[in-house]
């Protein structure tokens, strides 16, 4: 295996999952503060109040990134640090924090890759309807403009949204993520307003005329397979819900016809106004792909057991698939499959894998070491799959491992560890895992095989 010389090896995190300091620097409240403090919503009642305390340990974490040899670091900007109430003038202390981060990255020759929205919506905006309201798309563009104006000289790669599917469906239909709504109609509204927010923010950022900067969006994509022949229709609907409902408007300027038809009784898509789809589909410089799993599905009409209730389907785990600590199947060939499919159906477009990684039940042993061999195997097989896709013509330009640090895994709290670096939450102590050492060699060799 060898990767192109300018291939960008990186790692990713997100604000609420690592920063802590929820009241530091004038930060306002986000929907995740509210949700995690609502009893019963997050495993063991964990919250992001302290998380990895990255806000106060910035220098130490930057040094770890340099030690790892990262070419890029993908992080997200917490909207409520920039606009504590979700609109109006920028909070200087909030912007300063990200300025220090970006400067620290530059000093260490690490390319900053900011994401503007990784789910921490200001609570004030949620109180006015959140992503079910069109106003939030407009507020998002205003906020994007503030951050871009401040940092676009120093950061070349910009991602508007992280995984709008998760924010829409887990947050508005399943109710297992903030804001915890439970309505299919609201999930559709959120989908459109998030995508519109992306379009408006992109327009706003392009108006700054920063030649050479690259703007994109990150989607969570999963190939979908029918468990049995009779599940083919269900598989097509799941693909429509998870993948095409986002890829089609962004890259073709239209919502998939079968989805519009499927949701006919829930919504007439009247929320789509003239000109919206043009804005949503304005060209991106790259597509960010987050990959975790293939969905193998069966038809399941029961709202109790369906994993995708709005399309009547349930996930099943193939017998031969290994499972991660999240219970997700590890099937590396599925990464190559989705990349080739996106390229064939929607491409060509430069792709950055903006997240991929595994939760492992790892721990620091008596010798202080964290031997996470499963993570090494997982990453190795997925790097190979990305390489296969590249040999099949997909323009993959970089790979961000999820995650730099163990962190707050949303509704799972701190029970799931995805990091290359172990975090002892009571003390905040960081311990690089075996995978950290291994990945640093991969980066050093640019993916090439070790010579024997
Ligand atoms: O931790 C999340 C991240 O915030 C978004 N993508 C998936 C990761 C693992 O669940």
Residues designated catalytic: 163, 355
DSSP 8-62: EEEEE--HHHH---TTGGG---BHHHHHHTSTTSSGGG--SSSTT-TTT-HHHHH
Q: Average the pLDDT over 128-132 and give the result.
A: 99
Minimal CA–CA distance to 345: which of 439, 429, 223, 435?
A: 223
Q: Average the pLDDT over 98-103 and give the result.
A: 98
Residue 89 Cα to ligand 1 middle (Å): 30
Minimal CA–CA distance to 216: which of 275, 289, 151, 136?
A: 289
* Integer Cα distance of 44 and 65 in angstroms: 30
The answer to whether residue 130 scores a pLDDT higher than 90 is yes
Please tell me the class of the 8-220+271-291+328-445 domain: alpha beta
Spatial contact of 132 and 271, defined as CB atoms under 8 Å apart? no
Closest CA to ligand 1's atom 2: 409
The answer to whether residue 450 scores a pLDDT higher than 90 is no
Q: Ligand 1, residues 30, 409, 416: which to mutate, most atoms within 8 A of Cβ?
A: 409
pLDDT per residue over 344-403, tens digit each?
A: 999 999 999 999 999 999 999 999 999 999 999 999 999 999 999 999 999 999 999 999
Q: Ligand 1, residues 30, 169, 403: which to mutate, most atoms within 8 A of Cβ?
A: 403
Residues paired with 356 in a beta bridge: 401
Spatial contact of 120 and 81, defined as CB atoms under 8 Å apart? no
pLDDT at 2: 87
| C-alpha R_g of the chain | 21
The 3 state secondary structure assigned to 179-221 is CCCCCHHHHHHHHHHHHHHHHHHHHHHHCCCCCCCEEEEEEEC
Number of Cβ within a 10 Å radius of residue 60? 12
Q: Ligand 1, residues 290, 407, 416: which to mutate, most atoms within 8 A of Cβ?
A: 290
Residue 409 Cα to ligand 1 middle (Å): 7
* Integer Cα distance of 444 and 68 in angstroms: 9
Minimal CA–CA distance to 57: which of 12, 93, 24?
A: 24
pLDDT at 179: 99
Question: Which atom of ligand 1 approaches the CA of 220 most closely?
Answer: 6
* Integer Cα distance of 284 and 279 in angstroms: 11
Closest CA to ligand 1's atom 10: 409
Residue 177 Cα to ligand 1 middle (Å): 12
The position carrying tokens 């097509």 is: 236
Minimal CA–CA distance to 121: which of 100, 147, 139, 107?
A: 139
Residue 440 Cα to ligand 1 middle (Å): 22
| Residue list, ligand 1 pocket, CB within 6 Å | 14, 17, 163, 290, 355, 402, 409, 418
Closest CA to ligand 1's atom 4: 14
Spatial contact of 7 and 397, defined as CB atoms under 8 Å apart? yes
Residue 402 Cα to ligand 1 middle (Å): 8
pLDDT per residue over 133-153, tens digit each?
A: 999 999 999 999 999 999 999
Spatial contact of 412 and 424, defined as CB atoms under 8 Å apart? no
Minimal CA–CA distance to 73: which of 82, 81, 61, 60?
A: 61
Residue 164 Cα to ligand 1 middle (Å): 12
Question: Which atom of ligand 1 approaches the CA of 412 most closely?
Answer: 10
Q: Average the pLDDT over 38-64 and give the result.
A: 98
Its pTM stands at 0.98
pLDDT per residue over 56-87, tens digit each?
A: 999 999 999 999 999 999 999 999 999 999 99
* Integer Cα distance of 355 and 10 in angstroms: 9
Spatial contact of 273 and 144, defined as CB atoms under 8 Å apart? no
pLDDT, mean over the chain:
97
The answer to whether residue 233 scores a pLDDT higher than 70 is yes
* Integer Cα distance of 439 and 239 in angstroms: 32
Spatial contact of 173 and 112, defined as CB atoms under 8 Å apart? no
Burial pattern 118-140, b for ≥16 Cβ within 10 A else e, equals bbbbbbbbbeeebbbbbebbbbb
Question: Which atom of ligand 1 approaches the CA of 292 most closely?
Answer: 7
Spatial contact of 301 and 312, defined as CB atoms under 8 Å apart? yes
The answer to whether residue 452 scores a pLDDT higher than 90 is no
For 12, phi then psi, to 5°, come to -130, 155
Question: Which atom of ligand 1 approaches the CA of 14 most closely?
Answer: 4
Question: Which atom of ligand 1 approaches the CA of 410 most closely?
Answer: 1
* Integer Cα distance of 171 and 129 in angstroms: 13
* Integer Cα distance of 199 and 251 in angstroms: 12
Spatial contact of 77 and 114, defined as CB atoms under 8 Å apart? yes
Spatial contact of 234 and 307, defined as CB atoms under 8 Å apart? no
* Integer Cα distance of 323 and 427 in angstroms: 30
pLDDT tier for residue 451 given thresholds of 50, 70 and 90: low
* Integer Cα distance of 123 and 178 in angstroms: 10
Q: What is the largest CA-CA distance in the chain?
A: 63
Quick one: angle between helices 333-346 and 245-252, nearest 10? Answer: 40
Nearest 5°: CA angle at 216, between 210 and 219? 165
Closest CA to ligand 1's atom 9: 409
Spatial contact of 422 and 375, defined as CB atoms under 8 Å apart? no
């Amino acid at each position: 295996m060898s990767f192109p010389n300018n291939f960008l090896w990186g790692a990713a995190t997100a604000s609420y999952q690592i920063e802590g300091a929820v009241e530091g620097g004038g930060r306002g409240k986000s929907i995740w503060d509210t949700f995690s403090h609502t009893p019963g919503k997050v495993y063991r009642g964990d919250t992001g109040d302290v998380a990895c305390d990255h806000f106060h340990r910035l220098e130490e974490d930057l040094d770890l990134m340099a030690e790892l040899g990262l070419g890029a670091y993908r992080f997200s900007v917490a909207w409520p640090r920039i606009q504590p109430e979700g609109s109006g003038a920028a909070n200087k202390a909030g912007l300063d924090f990200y300025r220090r981060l970006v400067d620290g990255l530059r000093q260490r020759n690490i390319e900053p890759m900011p994401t503007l929205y990784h789910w921490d919506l200001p609570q004030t905006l949620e109180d006015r309807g959140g992503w079910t309201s069109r106003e939030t798309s407009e507020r998002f563009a205003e906020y994007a403009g503030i951050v871009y104006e401040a940092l676009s000289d120093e950061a070349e790669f910009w991602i508007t949204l992280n995984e709008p599917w998760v924010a829409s469906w887990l947050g508005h239909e399943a109710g297992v993520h903030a804001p915890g709504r439970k309505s299919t109609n609201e999930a559709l509204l959120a989908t459109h307003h998030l995508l519109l927010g992306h379009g408006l923010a992109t327009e706003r950022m392009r108006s700054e005329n920063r030649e050479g900067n690259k703007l994109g969006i990150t989607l969570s994509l999963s190939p979908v397979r029918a468990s049995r022949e009779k599940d083919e229709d269900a598989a097509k609907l799941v693909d429509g819900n998870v993948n095409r409902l986002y890829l089609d408007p962004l890259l073709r300027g239209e919502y998939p016809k079968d989805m519009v038809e499927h949701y006919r009784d829930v919504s007439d898509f009247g929320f789509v106004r003239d000109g919206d789809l043009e804005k949503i589909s304005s060209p991106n410089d790259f597509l960010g792909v987050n990959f975790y799993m293939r969905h193998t599905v069966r038809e399941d009409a029961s709202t109790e057991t369906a994993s995708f209730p709005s399309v009547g389907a349930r996930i099943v785990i193939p017998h031969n698939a290994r499972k991660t600590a999240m219970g997700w199947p590890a099937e590396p060939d599925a990464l190559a499959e989705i990349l080739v499919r996106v390229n064939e159906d929607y491409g060509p477009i430069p792709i950055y894998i903006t997240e991929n990684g595994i939760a492992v039940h790892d721990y620091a042993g008596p010798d202080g070491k964290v031997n996470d061999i499963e993570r090494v195997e997982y990453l190795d097989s997925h790097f190979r799959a990305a390489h296969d896709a590249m040999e099949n013509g997909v323009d993959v330009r970089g790979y961000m491992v999820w995650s730099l640090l163990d962190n707050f895994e949303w509704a799972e709290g701190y029970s799931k560890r995805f990091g290359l670096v172990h975090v002892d939450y009571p003390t905040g102590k960081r311990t690089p895992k075996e995978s950290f050492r291994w990945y640093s060699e991969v980066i050093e060799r640019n993916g090439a095989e070790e010579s024997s």
